[in-house]
Structure 1
Amino acid sequence: MRDNGTADAGADDGHGEDGAAGVRDDVLGTPDLLALDGVVPKGGGPPVRDRIGGVSLGRPLAYALRDPARRRPTADADRDFLVCFPFDLEELPDGRRYEQATLTVDLADGLHALSLDPAPGTVAADGTEISVFGLGRQRLRWTFRARGRGAGLRPDGRWAQAVVRMPASSAEVSGRVSLSTTTVQPVLGGALRRRAAETPYDTPFRIRAGEAWQTAGPLTHQGVLPGAWALAAYQDEMPHPEHREDREADDGRLPPGLRRLCLAVDIERYSARDNADMVRLQRVLLRTLRAACERVGVDWERCGRQAQGDGYLLVLEPDVDETRVVPGLLAGLTAGLAAANARTAGANSAAGKESSAGGLGSVRMRASLHQGIVHEADSGYAGSAVVALFRVLDSGPVRRFLAESRDTDLVAAFSDTLYQDLVGTGYEGLSAAGFEKVEIEIAAKNFTGVAWVRAMRSAAEH
């Protein structure tokens, strides 16, 4: 594969498309696609290669997988990660379209793929044919091909993913990504002009093992949802018997129970989206959360983090100033969603699409906040506070509140105790105006409770 020594310097510098230093964006790189049929200058020298288009390579999403055959990971054991590689092709003008796109991933030495998705021979819902190479190898390749004469690839929201085994001697999943395309353009007489193009250099990526999202359970099935199929939903069942024995083989003590402020978010109508939009939503979710934490001075690395498929659990570091952090986080989430949806609206407008008719949809979320005793267990965060947090987040009244609040991107639900502590005492940025009290009863889970719900508005709307 091609190599460019300057690519490493800028691929992981922490500056994203929003230009905020210290906030890692979801974009790994934005290389051009240069034509292979370059013109040799009259005076000699290397061919001049036309720019055909461009590609936005998403920062890979990594999920640390649990092996059910191993009771607990050990320092000398290999580890498995699901790694998702999203990318968006640039829209082409003048009737041109992409006929084929090939994503190539070269994993670093010692890494290899245990499974690939989409799998070889897959035909996507839109008719795209996908061929795959690299099972058990370091070099992975997915080729997406439009089916039928006159067909073109949808340029946005493409993705590929692999379960990658990392040896015990390694501390990161790394490698390089490149892309090549074939474009077609109608010419006189009904003929088609085809041109091959490629990225001029490979873009490096690096994911430290400690930065991967932790799955809440083992990999249970291999479906078609990008990334999210590795993530078990939040469960209330007792641990598997062998896991109980494993803990009893330790010293019999519970992990420390600390009072923590917890934030959970969930994307509205996630399962109704197509696969491409699911990739985009996961990237928006992660970027928005990280930017909100950066805005209010919360150290992302010191927070407990657990992906929930179409949502996220954030367990904030102990002893945060809740009177400052809670309004700051909500303001950051509100601003981040507004910015993401403005970009989406602009992209749809430029492409002549409506959000409800073939264009990308807006991102709307529910957020739930609660505080209480939390234990960091073997595969996630446990405690009645976490259970109550998700009961409120997933409840019918909170879902309906968002559905009926069409002029907002975010609704926030406070537990009754948190509301009384923060809002009821009149701290700055936490006015009681706009909050509604809702009664929550989930008979199947033997849960009853009270929450205070509010549609969030940006500062410019007040």
Structure 2
Amino acid sequence: MPDNDTADTGADDGRGEGGVVRGDVLGTPDLVALDGVVPKGGEQPVHERIGGVSLGRPLAYALRNPARRRTTTDADHEFLVCFPFDLEELPDGRRYEQVTLTVHLADGMHALSLDPAPGTVAADGTEISVFGLGRQRLRWTFRAPGRGGGLRPDGRWAQTVVRMPVSSADVSGRVSLSTTTVQPVLGGALRRRAAETPYDTPFRIRAAEAWPAATPLTHQGAFPGAWALATYGDDVPEPEAARQPDDERLPPGLRRLCLAVDIEKYSARDNADMVRLQRVLLRTLRAACEQVGVAWERCGRQAQGDGYLLVLEPDVDETRVVPGLLDGLTASLAATNERAARVNSLGGQGSSGLGLDSVRMRASLHQGIVHEADSGYAGSAVVALFRVLDSDPVRRVLAESPDTDLVAAFSDTLYQDLVDTGYEGLSAAGFEKVEIEIAAKNFTGVAWVRAMRSAAEG
């Protein structure tokens, strides 16, 4: 299988060569049949297209594991890397009987753990075999239960903890996929056909841009990446041996505009839907930033699993950036849900087998002094931002607005600065003033909440 090392894997939304798509999708290669027809005259076999695959851009999390660090040389560091992928729906009663995802890690890297683990049987009966622990070449094979059974095509994933030299700037390698499909024919027989992607799709993740993990790696079997995501909440003390001498100097405190978002009913989804929603979340935020000209790589970023924190660089033009971000979030969510509605209307199914649910979010905006601390962003502005985001009044507005995909909450000070003064794109129409009181957190405040509409809707 030839490599496709020249394929572009940039982070914008254009389409590159060889089926590679920039953005949150790594590539969209075809699956071509291995039983090609050999023409007369000795020409090359003609391979039929069986289907296709959408390879999600791998998600990487920098692991913090003090216990392991004590037994590892300073020349190594570790990342959890998750590989999501969706298979194309098959027509004419055909089904995927077996799917194999193969990952070739770059030189100097090897797998410390694999998930799903060898011998795993999923809740739907899918049998999973795994190869490659301690190696560069990793392989996960998913087999449908029973004779002629079929695999759900969407929401699949595999992940590994990768150890690599600290001198390496990238987590990189290549991904390929092969399948066996079955189709019922007369007499109850099944026609099987093997197919594969015609080239390897390269991936590269800058180590410096990996999401930070808030807690050490403690267990296997959790849903993809969740136990490695940086979370917001009370600090969990590290083991005594891992603590560093206190540095009395306070990190610089800069006035920053902060945006936090959270997905509605995330915890009620199954594992595969959580993978899909994390991808939608990241794509939505990046699209909003791109629309308003905010440089993604210059923002402070902190993943929350079902949410995300963006800390924008100092001195942004809030009068332009705030309405632009909200319009970008609204438009991107609308596009996502329109695609889901089209899939559902054509009889497609989500991982639950009941169709793709729409994605709805809450957003909170605030400004204030923020410190970049050892394990995330600190400051009363960040605390207030999340108190508002998670408050009952904001949740209520979203629940009572079934025709909107996004509800935005402004802190009182940001509302007075931007909306009360009548800046373009920030009309006061539709805002509701709410009192927020969280006795358990000793927090009271005022927010202004609005169900958002896209610019096209007004």
Alignment partners' CA distance in 1, 2:39 and 2:239: 72
Match of 2:52 in 1: 54
Matched to 1:9, the amino acid is: T
C-alpha distance in 1 between matches for 2:385 and 2:311: 11
Q: 1:17 to 1:198 in 2, by over 3 A?
A: same
- Which of 343, 353, 356 matches 1:347? 343
Is structure 2 residue 5 aligned with structure 1 residue 8?
A: yes
Residue 419 (structure 2) aligned to one of 418, 423, 441: 423
Q: Which runs of 5+ in 2 are unaligned?
A: none
TM-score, length of structure 1 as denominator length: 0.93
| Distance verdict in 2 for CA 1:391–1:191, change over 3 Å | same
Distance in 2 separating the partners of 1:123 and 1:294: 41
| Match of residue 23 from structure 2 | 25
Tell me, in whole angstroms, the C-alpha distance in 2 between the residues paired with 1:88 and 1:241. 40
Shift of 1:375: 0.6
**Residue 114 of structure 2: aligned partner:** 116
8 A contact 1:71–1:243 mirrored in 2? no
How many Å apart are 1:14 and its aligned residue?
3.9
Give the aligned residue type for 1:369.
Answer: L
Residue type of the alignment partner of 1:28: L
Moved more, 220-229 or 205-214: 220-229
Alpha-carbon distance between aligned partners in 2 of 1:244 and 1:384, rounded to the nearest angstrom: 27
Is 1:35 the counterpart of 2:33? The answer is yes
Match of 1:390 in 2: 386
Structure 1 residue 297 displacement after superposition:
1.1
Cα distance change, pair 10–355 in 1 and its aligned pair in 2 (3 A): closer
1:236 shift after superposition: 2.4
Q: 1:262-341 alignment to 2 at 5 Å?
A: 262-341=258-337
Post-superposition shift, 1:150?
A: 3.3
Residue in structure 2 matched with residue 358 of structure 1 by the alignment:
354
* Residue type at the aligned position of 2:439: A
Partner of 2:65: 67
Distance change >3 Å, CA 380–CA 145, structure 1 → 2? same
Once residues 27 and 408 of structure 1 are traced to their aligned partners in structure 2, the CA distance between those partners, rounded to angstroms, is 26
Counterpart of 1:436 (choices 423, 432, 445) is 432
CA distance in 1, matches of 2:202, 2:280: 22
1:138–1:49: structure 2 CA closer, same or farther, 3 Å change rule?
A: same
Distance 2:29 2:55 in 1: 8
How many Å apart are 1:247 and its aligned residue? 4.7
- Please point out which of 182, 190, 203 is paired with 1:205: 203
SS in 2 for 1:217: coil
Check the 8 A contact 1:218/1:232 in 2, yes or no.
no
Identity %: 84
Offset of residue 350 of structure 1: 2.0
Tell me how far apart the structure 1 counterparts of residues 82 and 407 of structure 2 sit (CA, whole Å): 29
- Any idea what SS the aligned residue of 2:134 has? coil
- CA distance 1:152–1:356, change in 2 (3 Å): closer
Q: Is contact 2:148-2:182 (8 Å) kept?
A: no
CA distance in 1, matches of 2:243, 2:80: 28
Secondary structure at the residue paired with 2:213?
Answer: strand
Superposition deviation, residue 262 in structure 1: 0.5
Residue 245 of structure 1: how far off its partner (Å): 5.9
2:400 corresponds in structure 1 to 404
Runs ≥4 residues deviating over 4 A: 238-245, 352-357
1:374 aligns with 2:381: no
Aligned positions of 1:159-238 closer than 5 A: 159-237=157-235
Is this contact kept in 2: 1:105–1:140, CA < 8 A? yes
Return closer, same or farther for 1:14/1:374 CA change in 2, 3 Å cut-off.
closer
Partners of 1:33 and 1:50 lie apart in 2 by 9
CA distance in 1 between partners of 2:135 and 2:305 (Å): 28
User: Partners of 1:71 and 1:351 in 2: how far apart?
Assistant: 50
Distance 1:146 1:356 in 2: 16
- Residue pair 1:220, 1:230 contacting (<8 A) in 2 also: no
In 2, are the aligned partners of 1:33 and 1:200 still within 8 Å (CA)?
A: yes
Q: Distance in 2 between matches of 1:113 and 1:9?
A: 25
CA shift at 1:425, angstroms? 1.4
Checking the alignment, whether the CA contact within 8 Å between 2:148 and 2:190 is kept in structure 1 is no
Task: Report the Cα distance in structure 1 between the residues aligned to 2:214 and 2:225, rounded to whole angstroms.
Answer: 13
Paired AA for residue 67 in structure 1: N
Q: Secondary structure at the match of 2:140?
A: strand
Alignment partners' CA distance in 1, 2:318 and 2:241: 35
Q: Size of the alignment, in residue pairs?
A: 453
Separation in 2 of the partners of 1:342 and 1:315? 29
CA distance in 1 between counterparts of 2:370 and 2:276 reads: 31
Q: What displacement does 1:193 show?
A: 0.6
CA distance in 2, matches of 1:8, 1:355: 32
Q: Are the equivalent residues in 2 in contact too, given 1:71–1:246 (CA < 8 A)?
A: no
Distance in 1 (CA, whole Å) between partners of 2:241 and 2:230 is 17
Cα 1:217/1:377, change in 2 over 3 Å: farther
Q: C-alpha separation between the residues in 1 aligned to 2:242 and 2:444? A: 29
Say whether the 8 Å CA contact 1:355–1:361 is kept in structure 2.
Answer: no
Contact 1:118 / 1:224 at 8 angstroms: preserved in 2?
Answer: no
Unaligned runs of 5+ in 1: none
Q: Distance in 2 between matches of 1:151 and 1:69?
A: 44
Q: Quote the offset at 1:161 in angstroms.
A: 0.7
- 3-state SS of the aligned residue for 1:218? coil
Q: Is the 8 A contact 2:7 2:202 kept in 1?
A: no
Secondary structure of the residue aligned to 2:214 is strand
Instruction: Write the distance in 1 (CA, Å) between the matches of 2:422 and 2:241.
Output: 46
Deviation readout 1:103-134 (Å, 9 max, x if unpaired): 00000011111111111111112221111111
